[in-house]
Structure 1
Amino acid sequence: MKSAYGDHVTVATDGNVAVVTLNRPPHNFVSVDFMRDLADALDDIDGHGAARAVVLQSEGKTFCGGADFSSDTDRVASGMDGVQALYAQAIRLFSAETPIVAAVQGSAVGAGLGLALTADFRVAAPEARFVANFTKLAFHPGFGLTYTLPRLIGPQRANLMFLTGRRIKAEQALEWGLCDEVVPAEELRAAALRLAAEIAENAPLATVSTRKTLRAGLAEAVKAQTVIEHREQALLRVTEDFKEGVRSVAERRPGNWVGR
């Protein structure tokens, strides 16, 4: 198993736990190559056999800021072909076999929230925020979130997150089941590693088998849902409101919508 995947993903081992670090600070914005490198790392972890659990952590102030729609060069920001390619990698993440504990130190926004939900568990710092801000961008949710978020916290709470774009604080996320533990920031990685090590203490074949049953059909459902999400996003991507949404979010102000 390699220790580096592309420019921004590294893997280290701690006993029977693989520690995967995303290193594209400060915001760890998603890109097709970035998510492909992460999927490759998880594939290698599954194939290597030594790791029985994974910690997914990131450098910088933000766990993952989602897509950077202000970028002029990123494939995801530049068009829907890039979005479709991103979703292909997302499906690979949901197909990983080894249990994953995400350490969320800052915001998980948009596709970054989708990334956090690829994990089985989320340990969060008090400063963490969970945000589905798509409608503030005049966009449709993606990364399979219209399937995974209601499945995790229930349809009504998912409705609230999607339709308001509200930032959900760590303590509320804990109450909702959106995260599983809240610890001080300086203890975050140790707490995530501790949970992963607790999983890794168990019989590996039984753990993987049980996880497969619990997540049966998940990757396939995400794949089907991203087809719908992509279609709706393509319709909204060409609107005047989407251009205004990108501007307004960057400028941290409400959008001036025209409905077209």
Structure 2
Amino acid sequence: MGYVKYETKSAVAVVTIDREKALNALNAEVLDDLKATFEGIDTETVRCVIVTGAGEKSFVAGADIAAMSGMDAQGGEAFGKKGNDIFRMIETFPLPVIAAVNGFALGGGCELAMSCDFRICAEQAIFGQPEVGLGITPGFGGTQRLARLVGPGMAKQLIYTAKNIKAAEALRIGLVNAVYPAEELMAAAEKLAGQIAANAPVAVRACKKAINEGLEQPMEEAIVTEEKLFGSCFATEDQKTGMQAFLEKKKGVSFQNR
């Protein structure tokens, strides 16, 4: 892909937004490449995905302002739908997706990170939704996911003020899970992804589905969703392997994605 690099390390895939000269800003071509990359991931051999940005300065600095500046209302809405469709695909992707935020994550970059299952970041990372300073709203899910992650009050403050925050503040409000020195970020992301990949993949996918769907349901419906997914695991070889190993006190279980 022209603007997205893809590599696999054992059962972990690394997706890198690679438009470094533009601080990895999102235009239509980048979004198309990102979509195609995720559509091409082999979910039978890959068990966890890491998303990051090329270079040392930026994860994704935002949507491409030059590309947006000439849009009318119809074009803006279409561009918003394009980004939302792709980010929703990432959010509901069957495998866990970790955002390794190595620098600026502003506007569309923050929204991309929020579409991942969780975020870890470098100490120099900067987060924000600066859109109102440009005369627009967040357009790729920022008004929705930020409020769900950090609460409506904090989300409104960040969005209304267009204020950027540093990594330590992002950790304090729960936007990220952990902060690392820049040189340790990818190693930490790969270690975390490896820990996830070592567990029963069918069960991990079921957990993601249960959490994501349950957050959009009343508790009475959410627990039924969990019950069904819980039950479905008992039809897998991984459940038999995992429980037998526990009973026999075996370590280093190898799950077969079935």
- Paired residue type of 1:8: Y
Instruction: Measure, in 2, the Cα distance between the counterparts of 1:57 and 1:77.
Output: 31
**Mean CA deviation greater in 198-207 or 21-30:** 21-30
1:91 aligns with 2:88: yes
**Larger of the two Rg values belongs to structure:** 2
| 1:75 CA drift (Å) | 7.5
- Do the aligned residues in 1 keep the contact of 2:27 with 2:67 (CA within 8 Å)? no
Aligned 1:46-195 pairs, distance under 5 A = 47-60=42-55, 61-71=57-67, 79-80=75-76, 81-195=78-192
| 1:71 CA drift (Å) | 3.9
Partner of 1:39: 35
| 1:78 CA drift (Å) | 10
- Do the aligned residues in 2 keep the contact of 1:125 with 1:184 (CA within 8 Å)? yes
Q: Figure out how many residues of one structure are paired with residues of the other and give that number.
A: 214
Partner of 1:9: 4
- Paired residue type of 2:3: H
1:201 aligns with 2:220: no
Instruction: Measure, in 2, the Cα distance between the counterparts of 1:55 and 1:95.
Output: 15
Instruction: Measure, in 2, the Cα distance between the counterparts of 1:77 and 1:107.
Output: 27
Instruction: Measure, in 1, the Cα distance between the counterparts of 2:65 and 2:72.
Output: 8
Partner of 1:214: 211
Distance 1:152 1:23, change over 3 A: same
The unaligned stretches of length 5 or more in structure 1 are: 1-5, 220-260
| 1:218 CA drift (Å) | 7.5
The unaligned stretches of length 5 or more in structure 2 are: 217-258
Secondary structure (helix, strand or coil) at the match of 1:216 reads helix
Identity of aligned residues (%): 37
Instruction: Measure, in 2, the Cα distance between the counterparts of 1:75 and 1:34.
Output: 18
- Paired residue type of 1:11: Y
Secondary structure (helix, strand or coil) at the match of 1:67 reads coil
**TM-score using structure 1 length:** 0.76
Aligned 1:15-26 pairs, distance under 5 A = 15-26=10-21
- Paired residue type of 2:32: R
- Paired residue type of 1:67: A
Secondary structure (helix, strand or coil) at the match of 2:124 reads coil
Partner of 1:240: none
Distance 1:134 1:195, change over 3 A: same
**TM-score using structure 2 length:** 0.76
What's the RMSD between the two structures over aligned residues? 2.4
- Paired residue type of 1:215: N
- Do the aligned residues in 2 keep the contact of 1:67 with 1:77 (CA within 8 Å)? no
| 1:28 CA drift (Å) | 0.7
Secondary structure (helix, strand or coil) at the match of 2:61 reads coil
Secondary structure (helix, strand or coil) at the match of 1:51 reads coil
- Paired residue type of 2:17: L
Secondary structure (helix, strand or coil) at the match of 1:19 reads strand
Distance 1:70 1:18, change over 3 A: same
Instruction: Measure, in 1, the Cα distance between the counterparts of 2:100 and 2:73.
Output: 26
